[in-house]
Amino acid sequence: MLKNIKSKFIDSDNTINGKVLAGFISLLIVLIQQIFASFGVKFTGDLNSIIAVINTILVILGAVGVLSEPATVSTNISNIQDTISTLQDKTENSKTTSELANTKAQVAISKVNELKNTIDTVQSKVTTIAAQ
């Protein structure tokens, strides 16, 4: 069990894990504060000031834990470029499909208009014949 706990505090390269240590110390301070409160130990002085100091210490420990070992971010440029190319191709294909649909719609509208003109012509001829 102690070996497991030690492995949490010490990394594989035998350096201290700052994040775990800062978190442990923060929790230890909270534990001490709770133990004192459960036994009715009263701090002399302004309680709000004491709580503010403890909170500041917790924030500092949290910041040290986060900032002591910043993670590096690596990206593969070729994957990003491939994704951009794929998106550009899809955009061009969708534009081509949209333009084709618009062209077909315009042809259909012109045929409907021609058909309407033909129907109007036939109706006027029927009206003329019926009037005679």
In a domain? residue 84: no
In a domain? residue 12: yes
What pLDDT digit, counting tens, does each position of 56-72 carry?
877 777 677 655 555 56
Regarding whether 62 and 6 lie in a shared domain, the answer is yes
Query: For the chain, what is the domain count?
Result: 2
DSSP-based three-state secondary structure for 84: helix
Whose CA is closest to 27, among 47, 72, 57? 57
Whose CA is closest to 26, among 52, 56, 48? 56
In a domain? residue 44: yes
Domain end position, chosen among 49, 67, 85: 67
Regarding whether 61 and 6 lie in a shared domain, the answer is yes
Which residues are CB-neighbours of 26 under 8 A, at least 6 positions away? 57, 58, 61, 62
Q: How far apart are CA 54 and CA 104, in angstroms?
A: 73
- Looking at residue 23, what is its pLDDT? 76
In a domain? residue 82: no
- Looking at residue 75, what is its pLDDT? 63
* Domain enclosing residue 119, as ranges: 98-132
Q: 0.85 exceeded by the pTM?
A: no
Mean pLDDT of 73-82: 69
Domain end position, chosen among 67, 82, 107: 67
In a domain? residue 73: no
What pLDDT digit, counting tens, does each position of 2-18 carry?
777 777 778 777 777 77
Using the predicted structure, report yes or no on whether residue 46 has a pLDDT greater than 80: no
